[in-house]
């Protein structure tokens, strides 16, 4: 009877900004039944729906938009180029889809119709752009309606699934950052069915984003607020001091050395590795960490991307080879792609094969929904599209990694750590804006009640600020050069920090060796005929005479570029290893090749 009551009793639903925060919440729970919890994305997908329509898959969404842009580009000729296209080609269409969806998604989240931009553009700064945008939007929507899909940019009012809320006593909504107009409207409907409590932190960076609550919120405080009545239920000051250590590094290798040394010192003190994290705002730095983590202390929380698997790299090589072909249309391009990918999948290791096939099957299923549209694609373009989609969706769990998580900034929202290291804390990365953020100017954004560039920068800084507040110890590292400096956020927080420069290195500097001339003992061949120039050279410098007239070494031409020398070196090494891969014979083999090409071997070879 007690068990029956337990299952029938309503419990709260906890909603978090990210799946990483959700997993962290579950790890914090003790023994017994786990509470109901989900991410915000899952909440809106499960609690709201568009009647009689299917949500458009991402792959299908992109293909339909590419097809729309392509059609209009043919009609309008060069009008699109320079406005929304960087070039009138498949790659140009592909690049434009990302920009367009970012813009349309932002407008739909703010519940702003595209035609409202024209009425607010009083100086006609965007007249031509908006004309094209409205044409693209209209054609794209018609394609969606024909296929029975819905896209959030259509701004159709969703229906609420009341049965979803009948299982919960309340909703505990952990807001880490920003709530859009669309999300607020949905939650207001939900608040009529079940009590909703907002849990949030207010600071100087996100204060403006919380104005919709119509409350005077103090900065550096944590709040619990009744969403429906907008009544403050609790207020807790957060007086955690921000006292980071700042390091300036001249290269990624030096930055890697700093991070690895910090990890080693942390672990030597028997600290919990689960309570330390490495934050990477710049994804370009990840390969360095992955390569240099010889002790497998790091766990790449976001998973290993497609570029880490041979399946993807093999397809990239095939694409590069196809660039030399004319790219003619093929009636069987989709079939050719499917046969090629299935063949390559069978060659992959059993460890990766299941994940690879799952991602591949999802993409191919969506492609088969649009077979008629894809008939207009060449194999090269279709492969390019497939690779982009595969890279965006494939993640391989870092099962061999350690317990110290490597995370991007958004994954850290709402989480607490004993120690963090933030890499690339540069002005170019903290904050970092997308291209679509720069499209509409601040005056137009203000008139539309859209976040301005300053607002968007502040929102990103809010995530870092809360990360500082939720961490006991922190290390900040940035790359210092003539064109790169630390983020101005340090100045805004009055953190007068003197950076420690190049504190650690991975490889000890090799001492310079004293120059030693090679002893040469050789005889002038019998019958050698001296000319005036050779005799002059012999008298001036016997070493020069030996190299030039005995060994027949030629001088490099003055216009010989570094790339030519580099190519020659690669060629020599390649041939040396191909002929004989024994390290013991490599030196001898290289000298033979150098002599064959009439290049003097160095003393240190």
Query: Who wins on pLDDT, 4 or 477?
Result: 477
Tens of pLDDT, residue by residue over 33-75, are 899 999 999 999 999 999 999 999 988 999 999 999 989 888 8
Residue 72 sits in the same domain as residue 102: yes
**What is the number of domains present in the chain?**
5
171 and 196 Cβ atoms separated by less than 8 Å = yes
Domain's final residue, options 237, 257, 278:
237
Tens of pLDDT, residue by residue over 149-167, are 999 999 999 999 999 999 9
CATH assignment at residue 256: 3.40.50.300
First-last CA distance in the chain:
84
pTM: 0.82
With cut-offs at 50, 70 and 90, classify the pLDDT of residue 605.
Answer: very low
In a domain, 527, yes or no: no
In a domain, 521, yes or no: no
Which of 221, 178, 159 lies closest to 18 in space, CA to CA? Answer: 178
DSSP helix/strand/coil, 249: strand
Q: What range defines the domain where residue 217 resides?
A: 10-50+158-237
Please state, in angstroms and rounded to a whole number, the distance separating the CA atoms of residues 48 and 54. 13
Residue 46 sits in the same domain as residue 163: yes
Backbone angles phi, psi at 422, to 5 degrees: -105, 115
Query: Does the pLDDT at position 413 exceed 90?
Result: yes
Residue 205 sits in the same domain as residue 321: no
Please state, in angstroms and rounded to a whole number, the distance separating the CA atoms of residues 486 and 499. 10
In a domain, 102, yes or no: yes
Tens of pLDDT, residue by residue over 452-496, are 999 999 999 999 999 999 999 999 999 999 999 999 999 999 998
Contacts of 456 (CB under 8 A, 6+ apart): 431, 433, 437
Computed from CA positions of residues 243, 249, 251, 253, in that sequence, does the dihedral angle turn out positive or negative?
A: negative
Residue 299 sits in the same domain as residue 413: yes
Give the CA distances from residue 100 to residues 60, 81, 92, 150, 601, in Å, rounded to whole numbers and listed in that order. 15, 14, 12, 17, 57
pLDDT for the residue 603: 45
Residue 310 sits in the same domain as residue 333: yes
Domain's final residue, options 183, 215, 237:
237
With cut-offs at 50, 70 and 90, classify the pLDDT of residue 557.
Answer: low
Give Cα 511 distance to the centre of its chain: 39
With cut-offs at 50, 70 and 90, classify the pLDDT of residue 580.
Answer: low
SS3 of 99-114: HHHHHHHHHHHCCCCC
Please state, in angstroms and rounded to a whole number, the distance separating the CA atoms of residues 449 and 495. 33
Domain's final residue, options 137, 154, 171:
154
Residue 339 sits in the same domain as residue 278: no
């Amino acid at each position: 009877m007690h068990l029956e009551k337990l299952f029938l009793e309503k419990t709260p639903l906890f909603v978090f900004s990210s799946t990483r925060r959700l997993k962290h919440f579950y790890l914090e729970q003790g023994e017994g039944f786990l509470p109901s919890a989900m991410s915000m994305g899952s909440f809106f997908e499960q609690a709201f729906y568009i009647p009689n329509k299917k949500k458009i898959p991402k792959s299908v969404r992109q293909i339909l938009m590419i097809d729309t842009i392509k059609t209009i580009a043919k009609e309008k000729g060069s009008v699109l180029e320079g406005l929304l296209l960087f070039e009138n080609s498949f790659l140009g269409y592909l690049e434009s889809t990302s920009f367009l969806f970012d813009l349309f998604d932002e407008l739909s989240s703010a519940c702003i119709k595209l035609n409202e931009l024209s009425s607010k553009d009083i100086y006609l700064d965007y007249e031509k752009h908006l004309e094209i945008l409205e044409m693209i939007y209209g054609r794209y929507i018609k394609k969606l309606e024909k296929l029975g899909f819905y896209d959030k940019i259509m701004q159709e009012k969703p229906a609420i699934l009341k049965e979803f809320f009948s299982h919960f006593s309340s909703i505990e909504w952990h807001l880490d950052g920003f709530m859009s107009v669309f999300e607020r409207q949905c939650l207001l409907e939900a608040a009529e069915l079940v009590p909703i409590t907002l849990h949030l932190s207010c600071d100087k960076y996100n204060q403006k984003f919380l104005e919709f609550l119509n409350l005077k919120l103090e900065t550096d405080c944590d709040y619990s607020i009744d969403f429906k009545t907008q009544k403050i239920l609790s207020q807790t000051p957060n007086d955690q001091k921000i006292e980071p250590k700042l390091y300036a590094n001249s290269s990624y290798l030096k930055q890697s050395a700093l991070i690895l040394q910090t990890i080693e010192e942390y672990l030597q003190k028997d600290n919990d590795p689960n309570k330390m994290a490495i934050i990477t705002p710049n994804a370009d730095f990840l390969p360095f960490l992955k390569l240099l983590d010889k002790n497998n202390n790091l766990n790449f929380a976001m998973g290993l991307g497609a570029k880490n698997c041979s399946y993807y790299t093999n397809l990239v090589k095939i694409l590069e080879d196809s660039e030399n072909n004319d790219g003619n249309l093929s009636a069987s391009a989709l079939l050719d792609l499917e046969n090629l990918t299935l063949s390559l999948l069978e060659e992959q290791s059993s460890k990766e094969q299941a994940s690879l096939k799952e991602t591949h099957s999802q993409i191919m299923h969506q492609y088969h929904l649009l077979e008629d549209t894809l008939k207009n694609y060449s194999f090269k373009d279709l492969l390019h599209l497939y690779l982009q989609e595969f890279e965006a969706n494939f993640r391989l769990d870092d099962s061999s990694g350690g317990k110290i998580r490597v995370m991007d900034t958004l994954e850290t929202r709402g989480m607490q750590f004993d120690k963090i290291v933030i890499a690339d804390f540069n002005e170019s990365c903290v904050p970092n804006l997308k291209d679509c953020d720069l499209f509409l100017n601040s005056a137009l954004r203000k008139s539309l009640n859209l976040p301005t560039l300053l607002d968007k920068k502040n929102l990103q800084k809010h995530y870092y600020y809360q990360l500082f507040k939720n961490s006991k110890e922190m290390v900040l590292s940035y790359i210092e050069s003539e064109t790169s400096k630390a983020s101005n956020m340090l100045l805004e927080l009055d953190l007068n920090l003197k950076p420690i420069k190049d504190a650690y290195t991975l490889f000890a500097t090799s001492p310079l060796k004293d120059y030693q001339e090679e002893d040469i003992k050789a005889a002038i061949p019998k019958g050698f005929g001296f000319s005036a120039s050779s005799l002059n050279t012999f008298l001036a410098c016997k070493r020069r005479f030996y190299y030039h007239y005995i060994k027949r070494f030629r001088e490099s031409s003055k216009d010989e570029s570094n790339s030519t020398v580099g190519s020659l070196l690669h060629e020599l090494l390649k041939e040396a290893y191909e002929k004989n891969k024994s390290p013991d014979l490599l030196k001898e083999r290289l000298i033979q090749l150098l002599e064959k090409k009439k290049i003097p071997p160095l003393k240190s070879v």
